[in-house]
Amino acid sequence: MNPLEIKTSYGWRVGCLAALGLCFVLPFLASAVYTVVIGEPEKIVVPLVVALVALVVFSLPILVILGAKRDSVRRFDQWGVHCHNGRSFPWQDFQGVREVVSRGRGGSFINNYDLYFRTGKVPVYFRVAKNEADVMRAIGALQAGFIPWLPPRA
């Protein structure tokens, strides 16, 4: 099987969070500027604090998303699994696949898959992959105990 590059798309998630954050931050920054313009600079503290809190609250999920991407699988090939952070795990160390299930009010769902190796584990975030069908085929083969990138044994 040819190497499989996981083509991820985090842009819309980060963009939506950034736009939503700006919707909360900009009005309070405008309010802070307005208090200075009308000559009441002592009232600037509240809008600036609220704008800063909103900025922090909406920045944290963006950092979490980008941090998760950094640790996730970037490529499967005949040598093993390669991550976005530069780490690689050879197939000789592969031990198995585990579903990571999240629970919500609507029930439970598979959030991602963890690939276990002797030297660590690597998450596969299939929902953000543009080539989700190829990724799921690869995960299915790995769950069945078959590594499609290795030559068949005689």
Distances (CA, A) of 30 to 50, 66, 97, 154: 12, 29, 51, 71
Q: Whole-structure pTM over 0.85, yes or no? A: no
**Tens digit of pLDDT for each residue in 67-98?**
778 889 999 999 999 999 999 999 999 999 99
Q: Which amino acid is at 123?
A: P
- Which of 1, 56, 2 minimizes the C-alpha distance to 24? 56
Beta bridge partners of 102: 109
